[in-house]
A and B are shown apart, each in its own frame.
Chain A
Amino acid sequence: MNEVSDIVLFFGRFHPLLVHLPIGFLFFAFLLEVISKWKKNPSLTTAIPLALLLGALSALGSCILGYMLSLSGDYDESAVDIHFWFGIATTVVAFVAWLIRIEKLNIPNTNTVKANISTLTLIVVLLSVTGHYGGNLTHGSDYLVKYLPFGKEPKKELPAISKIEDAGVYDYLVDPILQNKCTSCHNPSKKKGGLSFVDSTAILAGGKNGDALIPGNSSKSEMIKRVLLDPHHDDFMPPEGKTPLTEEEVAILMYWIDNANADFSSQIKGIETPENITKIASNFLEIPIEGEKGTTKLPTVNPINEETLIAIKKEGFQIRELVFESNIYEVVLPPKTITAKNSNELDKKLALLTGIKENILWFYAENNSINDSHLKLISEFVNLQKLNINSNPITDNGIAAFENHAFLNSVNLYGTKVTKKSLVSFTKMKNLQNVYAWKTAIKNDDITSTFKGNENAPKISLGL
């Protein structure tokens, strides 16, 4: 394609601005016609010729600017064609309508009233069609009906996977990023820079400036170069005003180009995958890394109402939301809130917490006369990740209640009566990572003899 001079493109870009004038003028002419008939107010009709003339002239201007814009080659040709011819048709009909209106043009065998109404109706239809195709060019053909509440085609779902290794690099990681951040401008109907990212063929076809990527060499690949530029650089992608790619997303794209040679069918397991990529993939796919503990995803739970929070605080608990508006809380019973004097109150206090048992992520209750029966209640905190219950009269039976707890990650048990029997319980908590067991009956020898290289065993800190 011949180079188009900048000034042409500069004016061309005013097309999306100017097109709204003919739409307004011509539609207004139509409304004047209808209302004057309906309200029987002929004085309104005097404005119609002016509205039609302005509409026709601005439509002509829009056509010219639109043609200039189309020279950029950023748009799909067949889609532009339809918009192009409908735009011209609208302009022509607008002039005809004007001529009929001012009675310079007479269509034989029809009266002027009918001719007026019919040309105006035709204009409205043409405007709608032209406008729709124009909108498709700018926003993409699925823009209008993307959020249509009914009659939606079910989206093509990728088969669910349970292991990160099974994920196809392109389908599960790369494609969602491109769909999210790139295809609103790089699609078949709005091919900015002649490039589309919708599928493998489109990506391989590249764009006006050559290949989008070079398999195995991300640093030479245009699509990577562009996203890594200084954000103020003219060629930076995505352009100003759009959400830039995150570090993680860029890392995934580079990994795909370098390690997977930009292959469209490779799976993670087939190629060399650095640890940080596995981590990013784990977050993207919301699949935990096998053998790795510590969940990254927060549970979704119901909010706690204000009265409950106040009641809990009244009982001496400190309660703090761990992430703003997440409904997930840390609950602390300050040390020595419960002593020998008021030990009967503990049951009542803990019972209050069962109402919010799903909301508690961290629970601290050191030195509060907590015993095994209380632990039974606490073990029902299904989302619990961190439990600090050191310096309490707790035994192995209490710990056994936490066997099979899905999320418990760290337990502080120093100064309790647990023994090596608890070590077996620990191995049954699949997310457990750290146990602090200073000042307990657990010995180093117990740990080696019980765990015997068990890979699921948590780290036990015994202190000095």
Chain B
Amino acid sequence: MCNNHEHSKLTSNNRDLQEIEKQIDRRHFLKKTSLGLGAMALGSLLGSENLMANLGDKNVQEAVLNNYNKNRLGLPHHLPKAKRIIYLFQSGGPSQMDLFDYKPKLVDMFGKELPESVIGGQRLTGMSGSQSTLPVAPSSFNFKQYGESRAWVSDAMPYLSEVVDDLCFVKGMQTDQINHTPAISFMQTGHQLPGRPSIGSWLSYGLGSDNENLPTFITLISKNGKGQPLTASLWGNGFLPTEHQGVQFRSGKDPVLYLSDPENYDGNDRRHMLDYLGHLNEIQNDAYGDPEIQARMAQYEMAFKMQTSVPEVADLSDEPEHIFDLYGKDSRDPGTYAANCLMARKLLEKGVKFIQLYHQGWDQHIGCPGGVKNQSKNTDQANAALIKDLKQRGMLDDTLVIWGGEFGRTVYSQGQLTEDNYGRDHHPKAFTMWMAGAGVKPGFTYGETDDFSYNVVKDPVHVHDFHATLLHLFGVDHERLTFKHQGRRYRLTDVHGNVVKDLLT
């Protein structure tokens, strides 16, 4: 074995690389000396008793440094309400007026031209913008009021109607984007172009992990999803350190591949192997100081821990029958939305901070009634089950649940409008989301749209406001969680966003 090797420094025998190494040395010298002086100054500022007196004890020293590093962001800024979050992303843009935003007056308007005054000069997409007519299409679903909160829900979501008193509907959501890719990116990262850190990465960076054996930020996608593709930039870390990116679990029986040992290998010396690999990486890190090396080291360690932690979480066999019944029959089929919801609950229980679920297919340009019905059928029972299950375990107290897509849909029909069929195009100016749990008012509806569900007439909530509110629930002031990149400090909300205090308990 290689234990006797003593590497003080790994150097290349290639002359060009040696040149680079020299340069890095100079830079490192400057960096390390200036930081070293800074640390000494800091030590005297903080009072030497704290930082210096115990320097002999290596453990204490390490703990002090760790603590200093962890606290350098000064978080949380205020007392959090939420410990964990599950974001049920409905990709494609669910039709708000076919699910929650009840517009009874539309029935009389069937087939009539949507007034220009309502559109207000808004630019439509290329898909319906060239239509000769924009006929109003009332919802073909029946609406009823449910619960003590008397919330309106259409008959597409019978299960959800049972839990409306735990939900907080936000009916005045607004986004800036009208097409899927920029709109999803905007919703998940606060910017229309890919490359900014996602919400989960910001939270992981700001608040750290509650379970060292599982990633802080996990993404689950329903299998066999159709429609607009989802890309890894949506749960990417952007310019934040790489270990804060979301870890995507596969939808299926094995959420993470190759966790089990290959044939004829017992895995007993893996720890030893990783330690040595870590040692080599550390040498490399000393020489080059590339943060990606540290991220890689952290990820090897995480992968090692996940060999035991993931099979335990992915194994749903210890769940009782009645829990499967609660989530619906799909929950026995790994990779479906229902099965993902159930696994997400287990992950939340284990202390995973951010779970990002995606369910595709909410893009009803044609055949909206049938499409919404179908999509609801695949998700409704699991949504309601998740709320109920979290609540009975006392977890809704500190878990935030969010449901919503990237935008809403138009009141006018895209394509031909018939008695029982219509299509709906993308609509960014008004859509509905709901939240539940930690610190959010239960049984509450916020915001109002006009009679066409086209414009928000009361209490609009912009995507930036939503992000600010979400961070607020985690004890983070959205204006103070920043990261300096390419010469300026970035935030999830960039230069926008107001916390919507009316949504909070």
Contacts and interface: CB of A to CB of B under 8 A. Distances in A.
A324 B77 CA distance: 6
Given A323-B475, A324-B76, A307 B60 contact: yes
A381 to B, nearest CB: 16
Contacts of B397: 386, 410, 412, 434, 436
Interface in A314-351: 318, 320-325, 328, 332, 334
Contacts of A410: 394, 397
Contact of B76 (A307, A310, A322): A322
Contacts of B475: 322-323
Contacts of A462: 392
Contacts of A27: none
A31 to B, nearest CB: 37
B60 A463 contact: no
B21 to A, nearest CB: 38
A438 B320 CA distance: 15
B397 to A, nearest CB: 5
Given A436-B392, A461-B391, A322 B80 contact: yes
Given A322-B76, A322-B80, A306 B392 contact: no
Interface residues of A, number: 31
A414 B395 CA distance: 11
A414 B210 contact: no
B392 A310 contact: no
A390 B394 contact: yes
Contact of A324 (B71, B210, B351, B394): B71
Given A306-B50, A464-B388, A464-B392, A318 B63 contact: no
A323 B393 contact: no
A438 B60 contact: no
Interface string B54-86: 100001100110010001001111111000000
A36 interface: no
Contacts of B210: 318, 320, 332
B79 A323 contact: yes
B326 interface: yes
Contact of A310 (B63, B71, B80, B351): B63
Given A318-B210, A436-B394, A310 B75 contact: no
Contact of A414 (B322, B393, B501, B505): B393
A451 B67 CA distance: 47
A298 B71 CA distance: 20
Contacts of B388: 463-464
A302 to B, nearest CB: 15
A222 B270 CA distance: 74
A463 B392 contact: yes
A70 interface: no
A148 B76 CA distance: 36
A401 interface: no
Contact of A306 (B63, B77, B211, B394): B63
Given A318-B210, A436-B397, A323 B392 contact: no
B326 A306 contact: no
Given A306-B50, A306-B63, A323 B78 contact: yes
A309 interface: yes
A399 to B, nearest CB: 15
A390 B393 contact: yes
Given A306-B60, A318-B210, A323-B475, A412 B75 contact: no
B392 A461 contact: yes
Nearest to B209: A318
Contacts of A309: 63, 67
Interface in B391-429: 391-394, 397-398
Interface in A419-464: 434, 436, 438, 461-464
A215 B417 CA distance: 55
A322 B207 CA distance: 10
Contacts of B80: 322
Contacts of A325: 74
B391 A310 contact: no
A267 interface: no
A328 B475 CA distance: 13
B59 A323 contact: no
B187 to A, nearest CB: 26
Contacts of A334: 211, 351
Interface string A246-263: 010000000000000000
A388 interface: yes
Interface in B83-133: none
Contacts of B67: 306, 309
Contacts of B71: 321, 324
A322 B476 CA distance: 11
A323 B394 contact: no
Contacts of A332: 210
Contacts of A461: 391-392, 394
Nearest to A411: B394
Contacts of B394: 388, 390, 410, 412, 414, 434, 436, 438, 461
Given A306-B60, A324-B71, A463 B391 contact: yes
Nearest to B391: A461
Task: Choose among B79, B211, B388, B398 the residue with the greatest number of A CB atoms under 10 Å from its CB.
Answer: B79
Contacts of A294: 505
A434 B351 CA distance: 21
Task: Choose among A298, A461, A464 the residue with the greatest number of B CB atoms under 10 Å from its CB.
Answer: A464
B392 to A, nearest CB: 3
Interface in B285-338: 322, 326
Nearest to A326: B79
A462 B50 CA distance: 48
Contacts of A306: 50, 54, 60, 63-64, 67
Contacts of B392: 414, 436, 438, 461-464
A328 B80 CA distance: 12
B78 to A, nearest CB: 6
Task: Choose among A247, A434, A463 the residue with the greatest number of B CB atoms under 10 Å from its CB.
Answer: A463
A314 to B, nearest CB: 9
Interface string A285-326: 000000000100010000000110110000000101111110
A464 B326 contact: yes
Interface string B470-505: 000001000000000000000000000000010001
A323 to B, nearest CB: 5
A240 B351 CA distance: 45
Interface string A389-419: 0100000000000000000001010100000
Nearest to B326: A464
Interface in A50-80: none
A370 to B, nearest CB: 15
A306 B68 CA distance: 11
Contacts of A463: 388, 391-393
A383 to B, nearest CB: 12
Contacts of A322: 76, 79-80, 475
A311 B113 CA distance: 72
A408 to B, nearest CB: 13
Top-8 shortest CB links A-B: A463-B392, A436-B394, A412-B394, A438-B392, A324-B74, A310-B63, A410-B397, A323-B79
Given A307-B60, A322-B76, 18 more contacts: A294-B505, A298-B79, A321-B76, A322-B475, A323-B76, A324-B71, A324-B75, A325-B74, A386-B397, A386-B398, A390-B393, A414-B392, A436-B392, A436-B394, A438-B394, A461-B391, A463-B391, A463-B392
Interface of A: 247, 294, 298, 306-307, 309-310, 318, 320-325, 328, 332, 334, 361, 386, 388, 390, 410, 412, 414, 434, 436, 438, 461-464
27 contacts: A306-B54, A306-B60, A306-B64, A309-B63, A309-B67, A310-B59, A320-B210, A322-B76, A322-B79, A322-B475, A323-B78, A324-B75, A324-B77, A334-B351, A390-B393, A390-B394, A410-B394, A412-B393, A412-B394, A414-B393, A434-B394, A436-B391, A436-B393, A461-B394, A463-B392, A463-B393, A464-B326
